[in-house]
């Protein structure tokens, strides 16, 4: 057993664990991190394939706090909006915001994880790889790990669970007290495919966009990678037709793409092989009433509130959690009080983004393609300029701002009512009753304070 017990022991050196280790170590805390996988800097990132993810303002702000934003952005690809590929007709770009100051970044998970692991070590955290958490003794304040080097026992003061959706720490905490845990499985799953570069080594399609092929009950998306590939994700229901019950192998997938994703098919030369090799991934929302056990343990990121992927906010929310927890530990000298304050701040926000993530699936797979939706979208971007700081599209509040997710959700609900009411029966903005709409906005939406 180590001579000195660290102040905080983080389980998991994924995105949240590595960032939190950096933030706490930079604040002078003694931090140890235990990670189940091997060190990705020595053995390559587990899985090998380059998986990309959308990084937006919340995640970026957290990276700025850790001074890791520059390194991450150096390898990022900018995404201006959605490139919508209709079943019939030409693809068109729907911007995410007003201009190029409101964009998303596509980054490589593996590269970002390595950057954050380097930051954590540079800040003074002690990282232990190939150490899989097994069991926690909350009375003796010890835990056991397994790994190539054999089993070991370690002492701790406070544990922080950044060990992802299948968290072992959460499971150990649940033996001490009922955490009020519920998992809602989505009745849709996903499969990853790849668009390689052209023979000349260029992107095959527009790089600065998140591509969507909306097909009503299902969809495909593609995010750019800095090696000029795209990671394609096919989302399908589990039952019905088409579904993962009827699309069972690469040949079925080819037939589906010939019919429904004809412009994507020539971009994915190894469609059959990709489909047959990659597993079907399931999707769920994890609801947890308690994230904390006194000063003994607390959960962050997916371990506390895994969500479906459709808002691209799982990582962004996890990184925002880390900043909130580090701030709470600065504010409250007592660890149990800090953990409680962190949970009080984050619980309603996690629930709000979990709900908005579920809603955004419908928007992406179905609505982006319809005329009513596009008119409402046009109107909300216009209202944002007409009522600055008051009317802000919900997507923008979630993606480009750091106002609490719960506030974005509540204001979004009011705005949606106003948009539906104003556009009902209209097929152009020329006939909108502006006086009535302006009055309703002033009455129902308070101005947001600056600085958010
Ligand atoms: P993780 O990143 O899962 O990290 C958990 C870490 O804990 C891992 O390193 C794991 O090895 C380790 N661990 C697990 N168990 C143990 C144990 N017993 N002992 C020790 N270590 C352990 N989010 C976005 O914001 N935008 C996106 O575009 C996006 N795209 C995604 C694409 C895919 C394919 C997937 C799967 C997710 C995506 N997400 C995205 C969600 C995002 O990946 C997660 O929300 C985020 O990684 C959560 O971070 P975390 O640190 O809590 O968990
Ligand atoms: N997890 C994303 C968005 C919103 C895009 C929009 C959506 C794949 C698994 Cl599905 C999805 C978004 O509204 O126009 N921004 O970023 C990322 C998304 O999926 C990621 C790549 C993903 N996450 C398991 C698969």
Mutate to test the pocket of ligand 1, among 17, 146, 319 (most ligand atoms within 8 A of CB): 17
67-71-73-75 Cα dihedral, nearest 10 degrees: -170
Question: pLDDT (tens digit, 9 = 90+) per residue, 3-29?
Answer: 589 999 999 999 999 999 999 999 999
Neighbours of 206 (CB within 10 A): 14
- CA–CA separation, 167 and 302 (whole Å): 8
Question: pLDDT (tens digit, 9 = 90+) per residue, 386-402?
Answer: 999 999 999 999 999 99
Rg (C-alpha) for the chain, rounded Å, is 23
Residue 45 binned pLDDT confidence (cut-offs 50, 70, 90): low
Atom of ligand 1 nearest to the CA of 165: 3
Secondary structure string (H, E, C) spanning 89-133: CCCEEEECCCCCCCCEEEEEHHHHHHHHHHHHHHHCCEEECCCEE
Mutate to test the pocket of ligand 2, among 312, 363, 400 (most ligand atoms within 8 A of CB): 312
Atom 43 of ligand 1, residue of closest alpha carbon: 315
Contact 183, 226 (CB under 8 A): no
Question: pLDDT (tens digit, 9 = 90+) per residue, 213-230?
Answer: 999 999 999 999 999 999
Residue 369 binned pLDDT confidence (cut-offs 50, 70, 90): confident
- Report CA(301)–ligand 1 centroid distance (Å): 8
- CA–CA separation, 172 and 218 (whole Å): 37
Question: pLDDT (tens digit, 9 = 90+) per residue, 261-311?
Answer: 999 999 999 999 999 999 999 999 999 999 999 999 999 999 999 999 999
Pocket of ligand 2 (CB under 6 A): 53-54, 82, 190, 210, 221, 223, 233, 281, 309-312, 360, 364
Locate 441 and state its tokens: 């906005």
Q: Which ligand is nearest to the CA of 319?
A: 1
β-partners of residue 224 are: 230
Please tell me the pTM assigned to this model. 0.97
201: left (phi over 0), alpha (psi -120 to 50) or beta: left
Atom of ligand 1 nearest to the CA of 13: 9
pLDDT of res. 121: 98
- CA–CA separation, 288 and 351 (whole Å): 10
Atom 12 of ligand 2, residue of closest alpha carbon: 312
Q: Considering Cα of 423, then 428, then 429, then 433, what sign does the dihedral take?
A: negative
β-partners of residue 184 are: 285
By C-alpha distance, which of 128, 134, 174 is closest to 153?
A: 134
pLDDT of res. 43: 74
* DSSP line for 13-43: -SHHHHHHHHHHHHTT--EEEE-SSPPHHHH
Q: Considering Cα of 259, then 261, then 265, then 270, what sign does the dihedral take?
A: negative
- CA–CA separation, 296 and 156 (whole Å): 9
């Amino acid at each position: 057993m180590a001579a000195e017990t660290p102040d905080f022991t983080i389980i998991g050196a994924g995105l949240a664990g590595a960032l939190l280790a950096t933030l706490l170590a930079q604040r002078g805390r003694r931090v140890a991190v235990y990670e189940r996988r091997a060190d990705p800097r020595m053995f390559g990132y587990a899985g090998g394939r380059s998986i990309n993810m959308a990084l937006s303002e919340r995640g970026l702000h957290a990276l700025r706090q850790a001074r890791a934003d520059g390194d991450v952005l150096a390898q990022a690809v900018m995404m201006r909006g959605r490139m919508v590929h209709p079943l019939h007709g030409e693809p068109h770009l729907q911007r995410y915001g007003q201009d190029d100051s409101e964009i998303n970044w596509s980054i490589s998970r593996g590269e970002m994880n390595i950057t954050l692991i380097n930051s954590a070590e540079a800040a003074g955290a002690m990282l232990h790889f190939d150490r899989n958490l097994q069991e926690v003794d909350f009375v003796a304040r010890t835990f056991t790990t397994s790994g190539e080097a054999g089993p070991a026992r370690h002492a701790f003061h406070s544990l922080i669970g950044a060990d992802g959706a299948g968290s072992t720490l959460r499971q150990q905490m649940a033996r001490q007290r009922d955490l009020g845990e519920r998992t809602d499985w989505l009745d849709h799953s996903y499969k990853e495919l790849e668009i390689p570069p052209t023979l000349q080594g260029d992107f095959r399609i527009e790089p600065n966009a998140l591509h969507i092929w909306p097909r009503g009950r299902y969809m495909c998306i593609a995010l750019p990678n800095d090696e000029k590939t795209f990671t394609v994700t096919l989302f399908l229901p589990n039952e019905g037709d088409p579904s993962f019950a009827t699309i069972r192998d690469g040949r079925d997938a080819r037939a589906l793409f010939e019919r429904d994703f004809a412009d994507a098919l020539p971009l994915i030369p190894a469609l059959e092989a990709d489909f047959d090799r990659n597993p079907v991934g399931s999707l769920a929302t994890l609801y947890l009433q308690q994230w904390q056990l006194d000063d003994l343990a607390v959960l962050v990121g997916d371990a506390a509130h895994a969500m479906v992927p459709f808002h691209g906010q799982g990582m962004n929310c996890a990184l925002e959690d880390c900043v909130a927890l580090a701030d709470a530990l600065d504010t409250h000298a007592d660890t149990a009080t800090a953990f409680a304050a962190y949970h009080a701040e984050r619980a309603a926000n996690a629930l709000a983004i979990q709900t908005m993530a579920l809603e955004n699936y419908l928007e992406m797979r179905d609505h982006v393609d319809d005329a009513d939706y596009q008119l409402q979208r046009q109107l909300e971007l216009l209202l944002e300029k007409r009522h600055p700081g008051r009317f802000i599209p919900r997507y923008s509040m979630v993606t480009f701002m750091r106002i609490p997710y719960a506030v974005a959700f509540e204001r979004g609900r009011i705005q949606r009512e106003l948009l539906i009411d104003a556009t009902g029966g209209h097929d152009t903005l020329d006939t909108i009753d502006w006086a009535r709409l302006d009055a309703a906005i002033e009455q129902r939406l308070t101005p947001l304070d600056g600085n958010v």
